[in-house]
Amino acid sequence: KRIILLASGSGSNVENIITYFGKHEQVAVSAVLTNKNTAYVLERCKKLKVPALYFNKTAFLDTSVVFDFLIAQNPDLIVLAGFLWKIPQELVTAFPNKIVNIHPALLPKYGGKGMYGTKVHEAVKENGETETGITIHYVNENYDEGGIIHQAKTNISPHDTPEQIAEKVHALEYEHFPKVLENILLKNG
């Protein structure tokens, strides 16, 4: 089974997933795609020896580039791990229930365009939430709206800074994301 990861930033989840499947019998990460040629995820892929490709907005929206690459690769799962662009309808249609995203909050709250990074944790803190968490969901043509696959929660206190909340959420991501992906890929046989 092959996974292709899409990321726009640091790529700590990308590294965690690559490492988790590093010695796996049935699952491998075949490539990482990024829309930021300065993203640290590129450094991580170099170190981990996983092919990483950069593409710009034109290439992403021009279905003859990224779309054709993904069709040719025909991955079993396309995984968004901190990828900040909406997925074009053609791609959603071409890979039904095969595009998965992780969001650092308990959707449907704190989701949607612009809700990413510390903005999410600031909003959670602002609203005095006593818990937050992660949502792993299928991707459709709107931000953070597809069917929810898995959620995990963590308690937070009013004293927690957004950075401390982010740390608690990242810990959940590292613990849950690879296992959820493994279940999706191997459960479907």
- Full strand arrangement of the beta sheet holding 2-7: 52-54, 28-34, 2-7, 77-80, 99-103, 131-138, 148-155
Question: Which residue of 3, 4, 7, 91 would you call a contact of ligand GRF, by CB under 6 A?
Answer: 7
Shortest spacing between CB 84 and ligand GRF, in angstroms:
8
| β-strand partners of 137 | 101, 148
d(CA 163, CA 178): 23
Shortest spacing between CB 60 and ligand GRF, in angstroms:
17
- 102 interacts with ligand GRF by CB under 6 A: yes
Could you write out the DSSP letters of every residue in 109-138?
A: TT-STT--THHHHHHHHHTT-SEEEEEEEE
Q: Check the annotation: does 183 bind a ligand.
A: no
- How many chain residues touch ligand GRF (CB under 6 A)? 14
Q: Check the annotation: does 12 bind a ligand.
A: yes
Question: Which residue of 35, 42, 75, 104 would you call a contact of ligand GRF, by CB under 6 A?
Answer: 104
- 17 interacts with ligand GRF by CB under 6 A: no
- 146 interacts with ligand GRF by CB under 6 A: no
d(CA 130, CA 155): 6
Count Cβ atoms below 10 Å from residue 35 Cβ, excluding itself: 18
With contacts defined by CB under 6 A, name the span among 6-14, 61-69, 122-130, 148-156 that binds ligand GRF: 6-14
Shortest spacing between CB 68 and ligand GRF, in angstroms:
25
Distances (CA, A) of 97 to 9, 50, 151: 24, 25, 17
Catalytic residues: 103
**Residues forming the site for ligand GRF (CB under 6 A):** 7, 9-14, 81-82, 102-104, 116, 173
